[in-house]
């Protein structure tokens, strides 16, 4: 179409990118805002000013150095949201140790894979949380993880010793930490986040200081953060949503990080906003829906709220209206991204209309580029036509950890990250996400790739083949359904037996809700499984046709 604008846009921005490491950036904020709140843990009442937070981070960093950890080593963190998670995040960044985020919902099968694949030397972990006995699972897999030299349980003697030894060592001689920090480059890898993989196991997106510090900073810029802001973060730290859009957006602006609870609870979140006079609140749409539905919602004073971020899945228009009108979040922002892009590529602005905030995922972020291409040819399509959304710029990951083949599949020779999502760009540069090239399921904000679950189910002695799809769900947006072909002579499985097989080995959100046993799958003439047809039939099977 000659004369039609191409589906390409770049984020022109007056403010330059940050060239700092995370540790240097934190030091600048500590110096500027020493007496202001940095971190508040609402559920325990603990709080740190920036001066206290900087001292605690330095002490922990020195403690890690005394344990022999050095630039490039990997430390895993396996815990729900807590102040210690944040201290570990910044302490590892100070000395160039790569932090490996481990999903608190993981079970032994997934934990073992991540420990081995990342070559984790030290694991910092909660002893337990809710029904998860982390300590027992660690002991179960530890003999098969030769790189794992030490395990530090939060709240235990080893954790207390790590903090005390480090604080004493740093007070006596701060030069060791200074030397380690001075040896770092902003382009060094500093974080590995595992994303569900289409190859059966998660892939470790490897991110640099430059990637995540700038992304957190510019997300905060578009939310107009200053040192006066107080951000309530009920989303998990193990996601970029919590540790980048939350923590790094705050520390790069001198704002306060407020942890309402270890895991999301509507009441605790509303209480934290009220008690701490939070100006910003984060969540996936289902979190906001739960908060609005709380029977005591009207009793909370939320007048301090100005903005916030909604991401993870599309926001229904009525929910957006209620968030603006009933929660006072007139400047609430929609963000789109993926772990591999640190994460945010597109974001709505505070003066965008409600329609733009619910029908699109906004415009390209500062200093980034996005384009929409024909998946078959790779050529940029005209505006208004669908294609694959691609992102390029400072935010694109260094690569998948120890997986050059998968990196090459995701990031092309011109450094464009191929998202696998289908998007349409309008004349003003706003992008709507209309589908997914791959079969990823988004359940309550969690990205799930069916292949990982399928590979696991193949280990069941009675299952010949398994195909996992997403089906609509009123609460989570999508739920998992598995179609199963049984081995000859095997007893037929039902949902309860499949769930029992998965429990303890797969995170709860990856366990299929629906099970359908078949003799054959619908196939194309070339022998490929027709998941589109499976979804259509599944709607009838679950009564949603």
- Taking only the tens place, the pLDDT of each residue in 378-393 is 999 999 998 999 999 9
**Percent above pLDDT 70 for the chain:** 97
**Domain 22-423, CATH class in plain words:** alpha beta
Residue 487: band (very low, low, confident or very high) from pLDDT cuts 50, 70, 90: confident
Residue 525: band (very low, low, confident or very high) from pLDDT cuts 50, 70, 90: low
Distance CA(136)–CA(506), nearest Å, equals 16
Distance CA(391)–CA(410), nearest Å, equals 11
Cis before residue 343, ω within 30 degrees of 0? yes
pLDDT (0 to 100) of residue 2: 43
Backbone CA torsion sign across 280, 281, 285, 291 = negative
For 432-450, how does the pLDDT look when each residue is reduced to its tens digit (9 = 90+)? 987 777 677 889 988 787 8
481 Ramachandran zone, left/alpha/beta (phi>0; psi -120 to 50): beta
For 283-312, how does the pLDDT look when each residue is reduced to its tens digit (9 = 90+)? 988 899 899 999 999 999 999 999 999 998
Cβ count near 188 (within 10 Å): 17
Cβ atoms 126, 134 nearer than 8 A: yes
Q: Is the pLDDT of residue 152 over 70?
A: yes
Distance CA(66)–CA(74), nearest Å, equals 15
Lowest mean pLDDT segment, chosen from 273-282, 297-306, 325-334, 469-478: 469-478
Q: Is the pLDDT of residue 183 over 60?
A: yes
| Site of tokens 């490897």 | 206
> Is the domain covering 440-542 a CATH 3.30.300.30 domain?
yes
- Nearest Cα neighbor of 335 from 260, 267, 235, 440 is 235
Q: Which two tokens stand for residue 205?
A: 């997106």
Distance CA(521)–CA(514), nearest Å, equals 16
Q: Where in the chain is the domain with CATH 3.30.300.30?
A: 440-542
For 196-226, how does the pLDDT look when each residue is reduced to its tens digit (9 = 90+)? 643 457 899 999 999 999 999 999 999 999 9
Length of the chain: 545
Residue 511: band (very low, low, confident or very high) from pLDDT cuts 50, 70, 90: very high
**What residues are paired with 431 via a beta bridge?**
425
For 263-287, how does the pLDDT look when each residue is reduced to its tens digit (9 = 90+)? 999 999 999 999 999 999 999 888 9
Mean pLDDT on 507-525: 88
Alpha-carbon distance values, 474 to 322, 442, 443, 445, 478 (Å): 18, 13, 11, 13, 8
**What residues are paired with 391 via a beta bridge?**
370, 417
Backbone angles phi and psi of 430, in degrees to 5 = -80, 140
Mean pLDDT on 488-513: 92
Distance CA(82)–CA(186), nearest Å, equals 26
Mean pLDDT on 475-503: 91
Distance CA(57)–CA(496), nearest Å, equals 46
Distance CA(530)–CA(536), nearest Å, equals 10
pLDDT (0 to 100) of residue 1: 42
Cβ atoms 336, 314 nearer than 8 A: no
pLDDT (0 to 100) of residue 488: 85
Distance CA(114)–CA(239), nearest Å, equals 15
Distance CA(307)–CA(324), nearest Å, equals 9
Distance CA(126)–CA(115), nearest Å, equals 16
Lowest mean pLDDT segment, chosen from 30-34, 122-126, 472-476: 472-476
| Site of tokens 């002490």 | 59
β-pair type (256-259, 230-232): parallel
pLDDT (0 to 100) of residue 229: 98
| pTM for the full predicted model | 0.85
Rg of the chain (C-alpha set): 23
Mean pLDDT on 44-64: 98
Alpha-carbon distance values, 248 to 215, 254, 363, 444, 513 (Å): 8, 10, 21, 24, 36
Residue 186: band (very low, low, confident or very high) from pLDDT cuts 50, 70, 90: very high
Alpha-carbon distance values, 206 to 70, 171, 209, 341, 406 (Å): 17, 33, 10, 10, 12
DSSP 492: P
Distance CA(528)–CA(531), nearest Å, equals 9
Alpha-carbon distance values, 113 to 194, 207, 471, 543 (Å): 11, 19, 28, 37
Q: Where in the chain is the domain with CATH 3.40.50.12780?
A: 22-423
Alpha-carbon distance values, 331 to 171, 224, 351, 418 (Å): 44, 9, 7, 30
For 343-360, how does the pLDDT look when each residue is reduced to its tens digit (9 = 90+)? 999 999 999 999 999 899
Q: Long-range contacts: 527-535, Cβ < 8 Å, 24+?
A: 529/467, 531/439, 531/467, 531/469, 534/467, 534/469, 534/483, 535/469, 535/470, 535/471
Distance CA(419)–CA(433), nearest Å, equals 11
Distance CA(128)–CA(313), nearest Å, equals 29
């Amino acid at each position: 179409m000659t004369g039609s604008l191409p589906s390409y846009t770049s984020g022109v921005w007056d403010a330059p990118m940050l060239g700092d490491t995370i540790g240097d950036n934190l030091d600048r904020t500590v110096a500027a805002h020493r007496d202001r709140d940095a971190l508040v843990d609402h559920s325990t009442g603990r709080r740190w000013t920036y001066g206290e937070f900087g001292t605690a981070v330095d002490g922990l960093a020195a403690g890690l150095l005394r344990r022999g950890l050095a630039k490039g080593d990997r430390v895993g963190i396996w815990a729900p949201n807590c102040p210690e998670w944040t201290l570990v995040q910044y302490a590892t960044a100070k000395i160039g140790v790569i932090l490996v985020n481990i999903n608190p919902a993981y079970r032994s099968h997934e934990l073992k894979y991540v420990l081995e694949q990342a070559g984790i030397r030290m694991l910092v972990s909660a002893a337990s949380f809710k029904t998860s006995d982390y300590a027992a699972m660690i002991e179960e897999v530890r003999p098969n993880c030769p790189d794992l030299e030490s395990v530090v349980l939060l709240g235990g003697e080893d954790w207390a010793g790590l903090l005390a030894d480090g604080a004493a060592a740093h007070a006596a001689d701060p030069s060791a930490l200074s030397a380690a920090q001075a040896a770092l480059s902003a382009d060094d890898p500093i974080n590995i986040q595992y994303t569900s993989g289409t190859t059966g196991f998660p892939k470790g997106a490897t991110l640099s200081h430059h990637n995540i510090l700038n992304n957190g900073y510019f997300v905060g810029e578009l939310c107009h953060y200053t040192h006066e802001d107080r951000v309530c973060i009920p989303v998990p730290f193990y996601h970029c949503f919590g540790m980048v859009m939350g923590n790094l957006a705050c520390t790069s602006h001198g704002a306060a990080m407020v942890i309402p609870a270890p895991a999301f609870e509507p009441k605790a979140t509303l209480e934290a906003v009220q008690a701490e006079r939070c100006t910003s609140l984060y969540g996936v749409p289902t979190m906001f829906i739960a908060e609005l539905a709380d029977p005591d919602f009207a009793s909370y004073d939320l007048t301090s709220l100005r903005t916030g971020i909604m991401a993870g899945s599309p926001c229904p228009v009525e929910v957006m209206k209620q968030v603006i009108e009933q929660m006072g979040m007139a400047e609430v922002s929609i963000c789109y991204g993926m772990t591999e892009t640190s994460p945010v590529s597109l974001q709505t602005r505070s003066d965008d209309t409600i329609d733009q905030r619910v029908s699109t995922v906004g415009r390209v972020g500062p200093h980034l580029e996005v384009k929409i291409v024909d998946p078959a040819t790779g050529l940029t399509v005209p505006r208004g036509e669908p294609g694959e959304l691609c992102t390029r710029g400072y935010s694109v990951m260094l690569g998948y950890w120890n997986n050059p083949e998968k990196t090459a599949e995701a990031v092309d020779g011109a450094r464009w990250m191929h998202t696998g999502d289908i998007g349409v760009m309008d004349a003003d540069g706003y992008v709507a996400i209309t589908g997914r090239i791959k079969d990823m399921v988004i359940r309550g904000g969690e990205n799930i790739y069916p292949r990982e679950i399928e590979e696991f189910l193949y280990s069941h002695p009675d299952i010949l083949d398994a195909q996992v799809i997403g089906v609509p769900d009123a609460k989570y947006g999508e739920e998992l359904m598995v179609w199963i072909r049984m081995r000859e002579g095997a007893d037929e499985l039902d949902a309860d037996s499949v769930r029992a097989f998965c429990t303890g080995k797969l995170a709860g959100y990856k366990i299929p809700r629906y099970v359908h046993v078949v003799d054959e799958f619908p196939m194309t003439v070339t022998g490929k499984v027709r998941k589109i047809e499976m979804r259509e039939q599944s709607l009838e099977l679950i009564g949603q046709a």
